[in-house]
Amino acid sequence: MTIHSTSPTMGRILRTVNLRAPQTRGCVALRGVQHTRPSWEWQPTRPVTPSCRAFQSASVPTNIRNAPVPEVPSSTSGPPDIQQQSLIDDPIASITVSATPSHSVIDNPTDLAAMLDSLHGLETDPPSLYVDLEGINLCRFGSISILQLHAAPLHTTYLIDIHALGHDAFSARGANGLTFKDLLESADIPKVFFDVRNDADGLFNLFQVQLGGVYDLQLMELATRKGSHGGRLNGLSRCIQRDAPMTPDQLVAWQFAKDKGRDLFVPGRGGGWDVFNRRPLAEDIVRYCVQDVQVLPSLWAVYMRNLTPAGMVRVRDESDGRVAWATAVEYRGGGSHMSLVPAGWRTK
């Protein structure tokens, strides 16, 4: 099914027809089928014969490359963790820090169809949709529990219960005929992730969803980082601590909520990964799931201010490359290689 935009530069969506995930452990790739990988990605010791399944580098729509980015104030005032606090005037690039973050749990096909209808007509410039996933050993050999989809213009984060819905999460249709799978796969609807690799692996191999239209914020941070990168990528927590326009009090509140969530699922802290599959979700897990994905629009704004058009093309191409490589049979989603910068970016 084809999803069209109202103009060659995308504009509004015309539908005729979404914190970093817990660290994966020991996700070992299958062997047998061979694929072409991006030249910059980590290379396994076993040689791989290229196949016809090479990815095509997508061009970046003009309005995404040249879109004006709202200014981000360096600080704000007010008590943290008491009420929602917008740090940027533009609603597309705002952070909210809240004791009870705005969210909606989607655990049945009827609510999912209503969510799809609510996303109809959202702007694509800048992106409206920011996505993250949580699961148990999140990759092809594990499971997906929750998919967080933050719709920035609606100031709402949808927690889509993949554990409860299973394949129905991707096949239920909205009033206009769109499925959630259609939305995730559309190259015309931009979706922003932070390190999309294991998310793409799990979605493709567990639910046959081939992500399209992906912008990876981890690559955007790398493309705009000042000074030597030391050959290493930054994780989401480091990016939030260093780059998100949050006050010290808000950072303390954010870190507190993050630690409370980790206490429930990290075995070394007395938790267990199965907490993501317990229903109802614990409030501390809800906050953990919601708060990081709500910060992603502000990180987008920060990095876009410093990203050249050529840099954005590079980010988009390598985001597509990450999705293609994550769906390859040889992909391994755990290990120290995941923190290495793309080979072509080792310039300092």
Gap between the Cα atoms of 57 and 200, Å rounded: 17
Pairing relation of β-strands 191-193 and 143-151? unpaired
Q: What is residue 229's predicted lDDT score, i.e. its pLDDT? A: 66
Q: Is the peptide bond before 280 cis (omega within 30 degrees of 0)?
A: yes
pTM of the entire predicted model: 0.75
- 319 with 195: CB under 8 angstroms? no
Provide the number of structural domains found in the chain: 1
Q: What is the pLDDT of residue 101?
A: 54
Domain that holds residue 226: 4-345
Average pLDDT along the chain, 348 residues, taken 10 residues at a time: 38 35 41 37 33 34 41 34 36 44 91 96 96 96 97 96 98 94 97 98 98 98 83 94 94 95 93 95 95 95 96 96 96 92 70
Confirm if 70 and 297 have CB atoms less than 8 A apart.
Answer: no
Token duo for residue 213: 């239209």
Q: Which residues pair with 151 in a beta bridge?
A: 129, 156
- C-beta of residue 188 within 8 angstroms of C-beta of residue 8: no
CA distance linking residue 158 with residue 148, whole number of Å? 6
Q: What is the pLDDT of residue 344?
A: 78
Q: What is the pLDDT of residue 162?
A: 98
User: Which has the closest alpha carbon to 216: 344, 342, 97, 53?
Assistant: 342
Smallest CA-to-CA distance from 106 within 138, 63, 150, 55 is with 150
- CA of 221: how far to CAs of 215, 232, 306, in Å? 11, 12, 9
What DSSP letter does each residue of 8-23 carry, written as one string?
TT--BEE-----PPPP
Which CATH number characterizes residue 303's domain? 3.30.420.10
**Cα first-last separation, the chain:** 44
